Structure 1
Amino acid sequence: MSPSRTATHSPAYSRQVDSLSAATTRTVRRCCSAETVSPYTGQDLATPQTVTQPDYERSAEPPEEAPFSWRAVLEIVQALALAVVISVVLNLFVVQVTEVRQRSMETTLLQNDRVIVSKIDYRLGPPMRGDIIVFNPPIDSSIPYVKRVIATAGQTIDLRDGRVYVDGQLVEIPQAHGLTQPQAPRIAYPFRVPAGEIFVLGDNRQASSDSRTFGSVPIQNIIGKVVLRFWPADRLTFFEW
């Protein structure tokens, strides 16, 4: 038999094979253990990501209801009570709103005009000629009257030829119109206004029930002085104090 032949390799060849085998092993290990990374975000694609919904797509959560508060109710009741008290005090002692019911003050004041009446003016001083006043007439009437003061206590008024004279002097009111004729036979002219009273006339002299009819008016019957017409709004007027 021929002797068996054993393959032999040179040392250089063996080193090349070992080097190649080791490089292959390292490459496989790196591929198996490497993390997969997104080329766009740099994040690990193997790791689960949390997606956050944009704010504008989130449903609005219903607001929490405020708990019932008796204190809030009490504060509202107190505010309403204070408003009522202030309104009553103002109406009794300071000002009040009055609706003109008659036509006797046309064209200065028209029927259904709303006016503000000052109640403090005549606490500070007596009525003066030319003042427009609201008063309770000295006759049976449930409606206050609105007239103009023409003469005061101690003055003498006379009506002659449709004109008005006070203490012998002609009195002309620019807003007045129509002849001023006597209306009640019981009132004789010249007429002297008693103490504590006033003589009043309407500006619409031929359509007015005034002191020519029921006589002079006691000062205690005066409700107040008209200082402002506020309605209708397009005829807002401040009257002289």
Structure 2
Amino acid sequence: MTRWREYLTTLVIAVFFALFVRSYLITAYKVPTGSMQPTLKPGDFIFSSRLSYGIQLPFTDRKWDVTSPERGDLIVFNYSNQPGISYVKRVIGLPGDKIQIKDGRIVLNDEALHYEKVTVDTGDNPNSDMFEIFQEKFQDSSWKVIFQKQRENKDFGPIVVPPDEVFILGDNRDASDDSRYWGTVPTSQIVGKVVLIWLSLDWQEKWGGDRYPTVRWKRVFSTVH
């Protein structure tokens, strides 16, 4: 009886610890779509830090030591119209920023972002016949984005980001639902910051009788930015 009690106690502690970690420290997600390519690919499994923007006080909706996301952060958030679904997008505009998109390119606070085409094949382009990868730069920050080679010139804005909200975009600019369609995201709906890809499975390249996905080993335990 004592042994069973020890097993049960250990199980309860393990479950409680796992729930605590998931609720207040780190949460795992699977990336289902290509809206964040080339940074995140379908089949990536990611960890999101819940401590990046404040410490959630247990059993409350309040946070301690709250900090705001920075431009370029990859955030996980819940959209108010679909509270049960988590999204991953990149923060482009901060409160008070003026955002405009001309011919698919971002103009931030009346300053056009710089775009440098990536010509080296790093294996990140899902289809080199259809897409081009660019390094999108603003001041000291930069990240990779994808555009369709034959794309429509889509303009947006200008708008000013409201207080306590952020303007978010997907890195796959021609295949992402984001603030261009939903509007800005309240910072209160941000769950955490993406910090790590801990596993990546390619379901397009299968083996074992076309039953098992290939592991993208170069992406396993890789950081993101």
Among 10, 34, 38, which residue is 1:103 paired with? 34
What letter is aligned with 1:169? E
Superposition TM-score, scaled by structure 2 size: 0.69
Hey, what's the Cα distance between the residues in 2 that align with 1:170 and 1:78? Answer: 59
Among 67, 81, 103, which residue is 1:125 paired with? 67
The answer on 1:170 being equivalent to 2:112 is: yes
Task: Tell me the equivalent position of 2:118.
Answer: none
SS of the residue aligned with 1:190?
A: strand
Hey, what's the Cα distance between the residues in 1 that align with 2:83 and 2:17? Answer: 29
Hey, what's the Cα distance between the residues in 1 that align with 2:70 and 2:196? Answer: 17
Task: Tell me the equivalent position of 2:13.
Answer: 82
Task: Tell me the equivalent position of 2:223.
Answer: 238
Hey, what's the Cα distance between the residues in 1 that align with 2:43 and 2:189? Answer: 22
SS of the residue aligned with 1:110?
A: coil
Superposition TM-score, scaled by structure 1 size: 0.65
Structure 2 runs not aligned, ≥5 long: 55-65, 114-135, 137-141, 201-215
Structure 1 runs not aligned, ≥5 long: 1-69, 183-187
The answer on whether the counterparts of 1:139 and 1:214 sit within 8 Å (CA) in structure 2 is no
Task: Tell me the equivalent position of 2:187.
Answer: 219
Q: Which moved more, 1:231-240 or 1:156-165?
A: 231-240
The structure with the greater share of residues assigned to helix is 1
Identity percentage of aligned residues: 35
Among 87, 110, 117, which residue is 1:145 paired with? 87
Aligned residues: 166
Shift in alpha-carbon separation, 1:190–1:208, aligned structure 2, 3 A: same
Deviations 1:95-139 (A, max 9, x none): 110111221001211112110000010015210111111111243
What letter is aligned with 1:202? G
Q: Which structure has the bigger radius of gyration?
A: 1
Larger RCO: 1 or 2 (CA < 8 Å, sep 6+): 2
1:160 Cα deviation from its structure 2 partner: 1.2
Shift in alpha-carbon separation, 1:116–1:231, aligned structure 2, 3 A: same
Cα RMSD after superposing both structures: 1.8
Among 177, 191, 203, which residue is 1:209 paired with? 177
Deviations 1:1-45 (A, max 9, x none): xxxxxxxxxxxxxxxxxxxxxxxxxxxxxxxxxxxxxxxxxxxxx
The structure with the greater share of residues assigned to strand is 2
Hey, what's the Cα distance between the residues in 2 that align with 1:189 and 1:174? Answer: 22
What letter is aligned with 1:226? V
SS of the residue aligned with 1:143?
A: strand
Hey, what's the Cα distance between the residues in 1 that align with 2:48 and 2:143? Answer: 22
1:141 Cα deviation from its structure 2 partner: 6.2
SS of the residue aligned with 2:46?
A: strand
The answer on whether the counterparts of 2:48 and 2:194 sit within 8 Å (CA) in structure 1 is yes
1:174 Cα deviation from its structure 2 partner: 3.6
